[in-house]
């Protein structure tokens, strides 16, 4: 094992979900031990069916925990998350390549 500099985060969304969690903790929405116990439980559950390699599956478990955790705290409803996620997906698919992708169009069409 060498100390060659590995990228800190291998995928941009790993960094995003990490930062989101740290930011919410620092803003006082939950304390870190509470987060860690939930996250540890998810890792344990996911580790039963396959051996986690600490890469993508680690952050998948992180995201899964955060979604459930925020829902349980009434900070982000799971249905809202699914709906907004679909809106983002539609926005990406309907935005010409190279143009900035925004939710505005998707949101205004719904109203």
Partner 1 sequence: MPHDDPDHPHSLLPPDPALRVKALETILTQKGLIDPAALDVIIDTYENKIGPRNGAHVVARAWRDPAFKAALLEDATAVVSELGYYGRQGEHMVAVENTANVHNMVVCTLCSCYPWPLLGIPPGWYKSDAYRARAVREPRAVLADFGVTLPEDTAVRVWDSTAEVRYLVVPERPADSDGMDEAALMDMVTRDSMIGTGLALPVERSAP
Residues at the contact surface with partner 1, assessed by CB under 8 A: 1, 3, 6, 8-13, 15-20, 22-27, 29, 31-33, 35-37, 39-40, 43, 47, 51-55, 58-60, 63, 66-67, 70, 75-77, 80-82, 84-85, 88-89, 92-99, 101, 103
Is the CB of residue 103 less than 8 Å from the CB of residue 88? Answer: yes
Whole-number minimum distance, CB 72 to partner 1, in Å?
14
The structure tokens listed for 46 are: 């996911």
- Residues contacting 59, CB < 8 A, separation 6+: 11, 13, 14, 17, 18
Whole-number minimum distance, CB 111 to partner 1, in Å?
14
Whole-number minimum distance, CB 42 to partner 1, in Å?
9
Please tell me the distance from the alpha carbon of residue 58 to that of residue 11, in angstroms, as a whole number. 12
- Residues contacting 42, CB < 8 A, separation 6+: 61, 62, 64, 65, 68
- For partner 1, which is the closer residue by CB, 1 or 108? 1
- For partner 1, which is the closer residue by CB, 80 or 109? 80
């Amino acid at each position: 094992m060498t100390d060659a500099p590995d990228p800190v985060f291998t995928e941009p969304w790993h960094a995003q979900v990490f930062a989101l969690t740290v930011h919410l903790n620092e803003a006082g929405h939950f304390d870190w031990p509470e987060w860690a116990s939930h996250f540890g439980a998810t890792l344990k559950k996911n580790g039963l069916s396959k051996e986690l390699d600490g890469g993508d599956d680690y952050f998948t478990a992180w995201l899964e925990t955060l979604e459930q955790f925020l829902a349980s705290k009434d900070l982000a409803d799971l249905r809202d998350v699914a709906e907004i996620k679909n809106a983002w997906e539609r926005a990406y698919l309907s935005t010409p390549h190279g143009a900035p992708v925004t939710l505005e169009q998707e949101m205004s069409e719904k109203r």
